């Protein structure tokens, strides 16, 4: 009599790209689009703030140049800032959704799958960025209708920089907070963090107008790098290398923090 000696394979086969797939990304996007209150806030808030603050300054030049060589207006500066603020606010809302997933046990369920934690963060980051682009498109459309004039390069460069940088950095910030604290506190913490960082980082005004000690603080906030890079095409002045380093470092910190807290939250599985 022959006894079967086949061994049971307990190791899970890791799928290609760590489990990244368009189906999972599509599910994340659909979940966000179904949240109508967040969608309305994402579109309405930056547009309203631009109309109230920026529109009255559309005839005021950002730099003192001759009329024949008129540069962008102060309203264009505020347009970019408000678009970024809307993208930041919508991006961090990803954290609130993650907190709900944790409360429902979905995060630990994901750990039962071969999905790589880093890939999970990347999928949610992409979904948050795609959601944040709505705020930028809405604000830019309102500005164009209101008569803001920029070159095609300036429209595209500022929009892409605001979307890619603000979306990536603040989506991962929201995710990190979502995996770090309790669900009922995530929305309040992320909203407060965006407001404080926006003012400290000089999102709404040039940091050169701040006191000296505040200028030093501003350069170490995650808002400094992304805002300097996004607004550089308006004046044509090159941004400091420190701005790019700032954006990359903060993105790395938030991604690492998200992966760490995701693993910690699901370590019992």
Higher pLDDT residue, 30 or 17? 30
pLDDT tens column, 194-232: 999 999 998 888 888 888 999 999 999 999 999 999 988
What pLDDT score does 208 carry?
82
- Measured distance CA(188)–CA(89) in Å, rounded: 11
Q: DSSP assignment of 225-236, as one string?
A: HHHHHHHHHHH-
Higher pLDDT residue, 154 or 59? 154
What pLDDT score does 11 carry?
55
- 9 within some domain: no
- Measured distance CA(99)–CA(179) in Å, rounded: 6
Q: Which domain holds residue 179?
A: 18-54+72-265
Higher pLDDT residue, 177 or 6? 177
Count of structural domains, the chain: 1
Average pLDDT over residues 121-125: 77
Burial of residue 106 (number of CB atoms within 10 Å: 0-12, 13-18, 19+): exposed
* Token couple for 226: 């992304």
- 64 within some domain: no
- 208 within some domain: yes
- 251 within some domain: yes
* Token couple for 47: 């547009």
In the chain, % helix, strand, coil (3-state, to 5) comes to 75, 0, 25
pLDDT tens column, 54-106: 888 887 887 644 433 456 888 999 999 999 998 898 888 777 777 777 777 76
- Measured distance CA(227)–CA(185) in Å, rounded: 27
Q: How many CA atoms lie within 13 A of 175 on its CB side?
A: 33
- 10 within some domain: no
Average pLDDT over residues 18-47: 73
- 12 within some domain: no
* Token couple for 184: 């009922």
Give the H/E segment covering residue 186.
helix 183-200
pLDDT tens column, 1-10: 454 444 545 4
- Measured distance CA(145)–CA(149) in Å, rounded: 10
Find how far residue 211's CA is from the centre of its chain. Answer: 28
- 67 within some domain: no
Q: Phi and psi (nearest 5°) for 262?
A: -65, -45
Q: How many CA atoms lie within 13 A of 124 on its CB side?
A: 34
Higher pLDDT residue, 12 or 75? 75
- 119 within some domain: yes
């Amino acid at each position: 009599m022959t006894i079967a000696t086949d061994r049971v394979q307990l190791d899970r086969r890791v799928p290609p790209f760590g489990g990244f797939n368009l189906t999972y990304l599509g599910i994340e996007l659909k979940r966000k689009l179904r949240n109508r209150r967040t969608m309305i806030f994402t579109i309405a808030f930056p547009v309203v703030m631009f109309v109230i603050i920026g529109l009255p300054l559309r005839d005021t030049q950002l730099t003192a140049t001759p009329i024949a060589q008129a540069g962008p207006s102060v309203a264009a500066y505020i347009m970019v800032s408000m678009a970024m603020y809307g993208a930041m606010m919508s991006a961090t809302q990803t954290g609130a959704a993650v907190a709900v997933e944790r409360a429902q046990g979905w995060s630990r369920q994901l750990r039962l799958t071969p999905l790589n934690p880093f890939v999970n963060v990347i999928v949610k980051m992409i979904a948050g960025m795609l959601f944040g682009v709505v705020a930028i498109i809405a604000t830019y459309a309102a500005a164009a209708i209101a008569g803001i004039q920029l070159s095609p390069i300036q429209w595209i460069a500022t929009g892409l920089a605001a979307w890619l940088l603000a979306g990536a950095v603040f989506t991962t910030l929201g995710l990190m907070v979502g995996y770090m604290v309790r669900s009922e506190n995530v929305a309040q913490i992320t909203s407060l963090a965006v407001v404080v960082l926006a003012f400290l980082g000089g999102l709404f005004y040039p940091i050169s107008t701040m006191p000296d000690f505040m200028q030093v603080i501003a350069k170490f906030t995650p808002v400094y790098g992304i805002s300097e890079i996004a607004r550089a095409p308006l004046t044509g002045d090159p941004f400091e290398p420190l701005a790019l380093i700032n954006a990359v470092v903060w993105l790395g910190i938030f991604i690492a923090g998200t992966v760490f807290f995701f693993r910690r939250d699901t370590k019992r599985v």
